[in-house]
């Protein structure tokens, strides 16, 4: 059985490394085109750390879809979970400068990922399942089907964080690790992240790891809570830092490390990510050992 499968979004990311301006003359700025999407970023992050990772999502039958498939395969991510849509592949334009960014998204084929076309036989071939920016019905279906046989982590993204806590209970009660950021947990629970994490533990989630940006990360279980600060490094671009944190955390989690080590690995992987341009500025184990 392989290690981890990620279910959710995959996009072509187009980065413009510049301050956003409403009107400007043409100017020369650094640009980058890479694979992206929260779920795909997580899968690549896990693969670079040495896990046997797969991805389950939807791309278009276009040049961008071909690029995304080849990109995942080049990174060592199993692509047998890719499905193809008549819709164009997803794309995101990101105008970014350090911690400031403007994002313009076209979800395209990502919207064709539905409960009715999930490949349960593919997903079941992995020890751990990670859900990132999926619909509520997909999340409910996956956790109910697999919670007895698999460990499951959930990054709510913009989709699940649009719901209040009572609507998410069918998902959260079967979730092993929940990865909201500070703003998302406030939207879900209507309180600060510490009390919000306590509420989420209270409905059944074993571990809540809250991503706090430059403040690091906070973890709470039913038995303990603690804060892990982030490394003091120059920031180039914060895009994908949360995906990188989740991949580092789950890497250590699957290696049966203690929760403090899981948090430290997540912090290291996210710190490495923000030191370069793009969400795919992701470390390998050799990079982490140098930090």
The number of residues making up the chain comes to 291
Q: Structural domain of residue 98, as residue ranges?
A: 2-22+30-289
The per-residue pLDDT for 290 is 83
CATH number at residue 168: 3.40.1190.20
Predicted TM-score (pTM) of this structure: 0.94
DSSP secondary structure code for residue 232 in this structure? -
pLDDT in tens, the chain (291 residues): 899 999 999 999 998 876 656 656 666 767 789 999 999 999 999 999 999 999 999 999 999 999 999 999 999 999 999 999 999 999 999 887 656 778 889 999 999 999 999 999 999 999 999 999 999 999 999 999 999 999 999 999 999 999 999 999 999 999 999 999 999 999 999 999 999 999 999 999 999 999 999 999 999 999 999 999 987 888 888 899 999 999 999 999 999 999 999 999 999 999 999 999 889 999 999 999 887
Cα atoms found within 13 Å of the Cα of residue 257, Cβ hemisphere only: 16
pLDDT at residue 49, rounded to an integer:
98
Transcribe 163-192 into DSSP letters: S-HHHHHHHHTT-SEE--BHHHHHHHHSS-
Count of structural domains within the chain: 1
C-alpha to C-alpha distances, 211 to 35, 192, 219, 276, nearest whole angstrom: 23, 13, 9, 19
Task: Give CA–CA dist 52/122, Å, rounded.
Answer: 14
Task: Pick the closest to residue 132 from 9, 281, 279 (CA basis).
Answer: 9
DSSP 8-state secondary structure symbol assigned to residue 281? -
Q: Left if phi > 0, otherwise alpha if psi is -120 to 50, otherwise beta: which for 136? A: alpha
- In whole angstroms, what is the distance from residue 128 CA to residue 178 CA? 13
Return d(Cα 218, Cα 236) in angstroms, integer: 23
The DSSP secondary structure of 36-67, one letter per residue, reads E-HHHHHHHHHHHTT--EEEEEEEESSHHHHH
pLDDT given for residue 99 in this prediction:
64
Cα distances (angstroms) measured from residue 74 to each of 36, 44, 71: 14, 10, 5
The rounded radius of gyration (Å) of the Cα atoms in the chain is: 18
- According to the model, what pLDDT value does residue 26 have? 62
Cα–Cα distance, 2 to 126 (Å, whole number): 5
Instruction: Report how far residue 44's alpha carbon sits from residue 74's, in angstroms, rounded to the nearest whole number.
Output: 10
Structure token pair of residue 85: 């849509």
pLDDT of residue 67: 97
* Closest to 173 (Cα-Cα) out of 118, 133, 222, 246: 222
Among 101, 46, 49, 94, smallest CA distance to 213 is for 101
């Amino acid at each position: 059985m392989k290690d981890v499968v990620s279910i959710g979004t995959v996009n072509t990311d187009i980065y413009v490394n510049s301050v956003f301006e409403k009107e400007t003359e043409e100017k020369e700025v650094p640009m980058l085109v890479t694979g992206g999407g929260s779920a795909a970023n997580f899968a690549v992050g896990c693969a670079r750390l040495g896990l046997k990772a797969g991805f389950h999502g939807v791309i278009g039958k276009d040049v961008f879809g071909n690029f995304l498939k080849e990109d995942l395969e080049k990174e060592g991510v199993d692509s047998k979970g890719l499905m193809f849509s008549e819709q164009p592949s997803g794309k995101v334009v990101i105008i970014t400068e350090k911690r400031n960014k403007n994002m313009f998204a076209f979800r395209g084929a990502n919207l064709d990922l539905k409960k009715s076309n999930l490949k349960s036989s593919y997903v079941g071939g992995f020890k751990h399942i990670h859900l990132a920016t999926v619909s509520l019905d997909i999340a409910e279906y996956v956790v109910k089907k697999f919670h007895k046989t698999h460990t499951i982590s959930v990054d709510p993204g913009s989709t699940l964080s649009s719901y209040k806590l009572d609507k998410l209970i069918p998902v959260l009660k079967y979730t092993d690790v929940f990865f909201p950021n500070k703003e998302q947990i406030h939207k879900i629970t209507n309180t600060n992240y510490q009390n919000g994490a306590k509420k989420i533990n209270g409905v059944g989630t074993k571990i809540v790891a809250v991503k706090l940006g430059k403040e690091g990360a906070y973890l709470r279980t039913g038995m303990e809570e603690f804060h892990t600060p982030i490394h003091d490094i120059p920031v180039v671009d914060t895009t994908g830092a949360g995906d990188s944190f989740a991949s580092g955390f789950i890497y250590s989690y699957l290696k049966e490390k203690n929760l403090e080590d899981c948090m430290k690995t997540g912090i290291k992987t996210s710190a490495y990510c923000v030191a370069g341009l793009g969400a795919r500025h992701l470390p390998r184990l050799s990079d982490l050992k140098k930090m």
